[in-house]
Each structure stands twice: as structure tokens, then as C-alpha cells.
């Protein structure tokens, strides 16, 4: 049969509640054997908790989330009812600056990591040091998008795996230059991982095994994925 | 180890050049054994070719692609240099109405299927009839997005697999209602498939095996994913 196993997505089960100071790399390695070339995807939620990016607010204040979101934003792009779409300091465009009140104690809000690419590099380096394997790391979050309903998981940080693959100059099967030239593989990896993590399953990490080795290189979401304000046609 | 195999993405290799009148279902089943619950992802390119959605143009005319794109659009949303971002009859917002000149003969352009949800249903029904297995089907295409560089594969049609999963009322591990309520799993499935199909590899179909059985239900991209003009904040 012409059906080749190419990619496997494995959920890391049995992760504990993550608290400030935890090493995500160690929590994963205590539970899962990673192999050279794996890409580990970790949700923003646990990375932020490990980094202490949690703030308290008055749960009786209906405006608390909006105010925290605006304090994390460089621009408020749209408001509609309770929805506020902002541009964060990282350059991400998302609802409420990524501030999240689910899976955290009452009266606590989880903010995005200060530098999710750096968070990714730290996890990758610790895995290399402890387990001796070179892996890619992606920190993922769940964002809405323009024009399409429903949210998907995308990469907010990465290390050791290409964020965007530039195919300029590549030719198609008929020898013509490809019209699609830049593919954001790191968002596709984050989305694939979401399919095994779900939202209520308590699986905050997944391993994507079998990624094309050509994609395993240094990279960052900030440099390759974030579209600067002036370059964007829809802001 | 707490590493559970949950999802496998398998490329369907050895597919021939697809021509008008081909049955995508048969071409896949001639090469791959599908099992109950698989989700077959097929690129728009081969679906359009099988459906004869190919038009001729003068390759010496530098404006040909733009004109074809505009004829397929209900609205032109943005222009910048050669880039034209349109809203198609289906309600998709994408570059050049999805018109594609790669992997097709010189002087030919491939248009989107007229009704990609219907294309998906036909493929699903033919697989059921011939192989006796219930599968999901996704027709994928490569679209850009606002705010983020690089393109990703998304679903333009589907059958037998949930487009959007509504988690309203679902509670997190701590018993609080989830703030993320609608996940577009069908776009995540399309993106996962792209990771094994690539752009120059000549693999136009992939099987995503191990999708949560709860996601296997009737659905359509048109009804669940396309955000109507008036509801969108960024058009």
C-alpha cells in the first residue's frame, strides 16, 4: 500500500498542576522519552504558570479581564461587547491580549509569557542538557482569526524548528515555480498538537514525531511569523 | 511512559496526475486501505482538476491571473502590487480567489471547486460505497491570514467530520467554564495533513488516523467556518 506513516502526534499524559518555578522540560522528561528530531509542543498556559505570569484580580469586578487585557496591549484594534481584540507587546493580534481565566484559580489571570521564543529555547536547552537529544520546541496558544469562525492553536514561540519555510525558487512537479512560497509550519504543528491535547483533557504537552528533518533549524516566531503593524493589510 | 500515540498522519503516495472526470475516492482507494474513522484530506488542486475547474488564459498577459481572480470574487478587499485579496462566492477571504497557476499546464489556471463541501460529501459517499468504511473527508487549500506571516493549509470543505467543535458549557480541570468555546478542528486537521504533503512533494492526499470519534459527525465548512461579511470585524 502507498500509505506512508510520516507523522505521529503523542499526548504527554499525567502532567501535574504546574506552579511557578517548575521546569516544563523536567516535567515532560519525567514522563516521556523524547527522541532526536521530536518537536515538543507545550501550551502557553503551563509555560506562563511556570514563569509566574499570573496576576490577581477582584473576581467581583466585571471589567477586570478587559483592564488586564488592555494593560498587556500596545493597541486595542476592535471592541464588540465583551470582546476586545488587541495587539500585544509581542505583536500578536488576539482576543484580550491572550489573558486567560480558565484552568487557573478563581481571581487569578494567566498572562502570555514575556518572551515565548526565549521560553521555547530554555525548554529545548534543558532537554538537550538532561536527555542529550536535540528537539524542537513550540509554545502554543489558542487564537481566533479574521474571516473564519472557530479558534485554532498557533505558535507564539519556538526554538529548534522552522517557523516559516521559504519555498521561493522551488519548482512544482511540472517544473514551474511554486506560487505558494512561505508556509508557516510551526502553526500547523501547533494545530496538530491541539488535536490530541483538546481543551478539557488536561494534556498540556504533545510530541510531534516525524517532522521533516530539514525543518529542524534555529528560528523564532517573533522574527518569522509576527507581521509588523505597517506591513499588515488588515489592522 | 506517559506518551500516548493518538494521531497518525499518513501521506498517500503514488497518486497520478488527476484529470477531469477522475474519481478522487477511487484513486485513493486504489493505493491506500482506509479504516473506519479515518479522515482523508485532499488538496483543492486535485479536486478542482477532477471536477474540470480549469480555465485557459493567455500566458503572455500579465494581468490574466488578476482578472480571473476578480471574476471569481464577490468583493475585492485589498490590493497591493500584484497581490489581490478577495472574498470568493463561498465567502472565503484569500489571495486571488484561490486561483492557482502552479502544478498545472502553462496557460491554465485552477479555480476553487464550486461547492467544496459537496465535493467532500461525494468523496466520502464513494468511499463508503466501495470500501464500506465511514470516513471523514476534508478538502484543503493554502491560505494566508491577517497578522501572521506565512500560509497554512485550511479546510475549504468537509464531510463526516466536525468543522467547529463547540465547547460551551464544558468545564476545565478546576471546574470552571472554558473561555475558549469553539475550536476549528477541521483547519487543524488540514494543517496537520500539510506537514506530510508539502508543496513540491507531489502528495495530494493524506490520511489523519486517530481523530477523536466524537468529532466524526455531519458538518460543513460553509455553515460552521465561513464568517459572514457583516459578522466579521476585519474586512
Q: What is the pLDDT of residue B69?
A: 96
Residue pair B152/B145 in contact by the 8 Å Cβ criterion? yes
Residues 46-105 of A with CB under 8 A from B: 78, 80, 85, 92-93, 100-105
Pair type for strands A108-110 and A136-143: unpaired
A120-134 pLDDT, tens per residue? 999 999 999 999 999
| CA-wise closest residue to B186 among B148, B157, B206, B166 | B157
Residues 148-177 (B) with a CB less than 8 A from some CB of A:
148-154, 163-165, 167, 170-174, 176-177
Residues B143 and B217 in one domain: yes
Identify whether residues A154 and A201 lie together within a single domain: yes
Contacts of A142 in chain B (CB under 8 A): 180, 183
CATH number, position A9 = 3.30.1330.100
Tell me if chain B has a CB within 8 Å of the CB of A202.
yes
Q: Which residues of B touch A33 (CB under 8 A)?
A: 1, 3
CA atoms of A53 and A47, how far apart (whole Å)? 9
Mutation to test the B interface, candidates A2, A164, A227, most B Cβ within 10 Å: A2
- A38: which DSSP letter? -
* Assigned domain for B233 exists: no
Contacts of A106 in chain B (CB under 8 A): 176
Across A35-61, average pLDDT:
96
For residue B235, being part of any structural domain is answered with no
For residue range B158-193, what is the model confidence (pLDDT) as tens digits? 999 999 998 776 776 666 666 667 999 999 999 999
B111 near B54, Cβ under 8 Å?
yes
Neighbours of B16 (CB within 10 A): 10
| Average model confidence (pLDDT) across chain A | 92
pLDDT in tens, B3-43: 886 899 999 999 999 999 999 999 999 999 999 999 999 99
Give domain status of residue A232, yes or no: no
pLDDT digits (tens, 9 = 90+) for A42-52: 999 999 999 99
- Pick the last residue of a domain from A65, A91, A112: A112
Same domain, B215 and B165: yes
B101 chain-A contacts, CB cut-off 8 A: 176, 179
Of B112, B130, B151, the position where a domain reaches its end is B112
Q: How many distinct structural domains can be found in chain A?
A: 2
Residues A16 and A37 in one domain: yes
- Mark yes or no for CB contact B173/A103 under 8 Å: yes
Which residues in chain A have Cβ-Cβ distances shorter than 8 Å to B31? 1-3
In a domain, B234, yes or no: no
Q: What is the ipTM score, two decimals? A: 0.95
Does B150 contact A163 at a Cβ distance shorter than 8 Å? yes
The verdict on residue A170 lying in a domain is yes
| Facing B184 at nearest CB: one of A1, A4, A150 | A150
CB atoms within 10 A of CB A218: 12
Domain match, A156 and A199 both: yes
**Closest Cβ opposite residue B31 in set A2, A32, A235:** A2
| A11 close to B4: Cβ distance less than 8 angstroms | yes
CB contact under 8 A, B188 and A153: yes
Q: What pLDDT, in 10s, does the model give residues B83-133?
A: 899 999 999 999 999 999 877 888 999 999 999 999 999 999 999 999 999
Look at A19-23, A28-32, B222-226, B230-234 and tell me which has the smallest mean pLDDT.
B230-234
Indicate whether A90 belongs to any domain.
yes
- Cα of A34 vs its chain's centroid, Å: 19
Q: Are residues A179 and A135 in the same domain?
A: yes
Single out the residue in B112, B131, B150 at which a domain terminates: B112
Q: Which domain holds residue A99?
A: 54-112
Does A102 sit within 8 Å of B178, measured CB to CB?
yes
Which value, in Å, is the radius of gyration of the alpha carbons in chain B? 18
Q: Which residues, numbered 10 to 49 in chain B, qualify as contacts with chain A under a Cβ-Cβ cut-off of 8 Å?
A: 10-15, 31-33
Residue A158: its chain B contacts at CB < 8 A? none
**Tens digit of each residue's pLDDT (9 = 90 or more) over A67-93:** 999 999 999 999 988 889 999 999 999
Instruction: Tell me whether residue B178 is in a domain.
Output: yes
Q: Do A38 and A126 belong to one domain?
A: yes
Q: Which of A13, A92, A178 sits opposite B4 (nearest CB)?
A: A13
Q: How far apart are CA A225 and CA B4, in angstroms?
A: 30
Q: Which residues of chain B are within 8 Å of residue A147 when distances are taken between CB atoms?
A: 92-93, 146, 227, 232, 234-235
Question: Do A117 and A191 belong to one domain?
Answer: yes
What distance in Å separates the CA atoms of residue A178 and residue B60, rounded to the nearest whole number? 18
* Rounded Cα–Cα distance for residues A163 and A170 (Å): 18
pLDDT given at position B111: 98
Nearest to A147 by CA among B188, B232, B150, B221: B232
Regarding whether B189 and B103 lie in a shared domain, the answer is: no
Residue B80: give its domain's CATH number.
3.90.1660.10
Residues of A in contact with B164 (CB under 8 A): 149-150
**B154 and B224 in one domain?**
yes
Mark yes or no for CB contact B149/A31 under 8 Å: no
pLDDT band at A178 (very low <50, low <70, confident <90, very high): low
Is there a single domain that holds both residue A127 and residue A191? yes
Res A180: pLDDT = 64
Residues A25 and A139 in one domain: yes
Q: Is B168 a domain residue?
A: yes
| Chain B: residue whose CA lies nearest to A224 | B149
Amino acid at each position: 500500500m502507498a500509505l506512508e506513516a510520516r507523522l505521529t502526534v503523542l499526548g504527554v499524559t499525567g502532567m501535574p498542576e504546574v506552579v511557578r518555578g517548575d521546569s516544563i522540560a523536567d516535567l515532560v522528561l519525567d514522563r516521556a522519552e523524547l527522541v532526536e528530531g521530536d518537536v515538543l509542543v507545550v501550551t502557553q498556559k503551563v509555560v506562563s504558570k511556570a514563569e509566574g505570569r499570573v496576576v490577581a484580580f477582584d473576581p467581583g469586578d466585571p471589567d477586570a479581564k478587559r483592564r488586564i487585557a488592555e494593560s498587556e496591549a500596545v493597541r486595542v484594534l476592535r471592541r464588540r461587547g465583551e470582546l476586545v481584540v488587541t495587539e500585544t507587546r509581542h505583536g500578536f493580534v488576539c482576543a484580550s491580549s491572550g489573558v486567560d481565566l480558565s484552568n487557573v484559580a478563581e481571581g487569578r489571570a494567566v498572562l502570555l509569557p514575556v518572551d515565548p521564543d526565549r521560553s521555547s529555547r530554555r525548554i529545548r536547552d534543558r532537554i538537550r542538557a538532561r536527555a542529550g537529544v536535540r528537539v524542537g520546541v513550540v509554545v502554543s496558544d489558542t487564537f481566533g482569526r479574521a474571516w473564519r469562525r472557530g479558534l485554532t492553536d498557533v505558535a507564539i514561540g519556538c526554538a529548534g524548528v522552522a517557523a516559516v519555510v521559504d519555498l521561493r525558487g522551488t519548482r512544482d512537479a511540472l517544473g514551474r515555480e511554486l506560487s505558494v512560497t512561505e508556509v508557516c509550519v510551526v502553526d500547523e504543528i501547533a494545530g496538530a498538537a491541539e488535536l490530541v491535547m483538546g481543551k478539557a483533557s488536561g494534556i498540556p504537552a504533545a510530541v510531534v514525531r516525524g517532522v521533516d528533518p530539514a525543518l529542524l533549524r534555529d528560528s523564532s516566531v517573533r522574527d518569522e511569523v509576527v507581521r509588523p503593524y505597517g506591513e499588515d493589510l488588515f489592522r
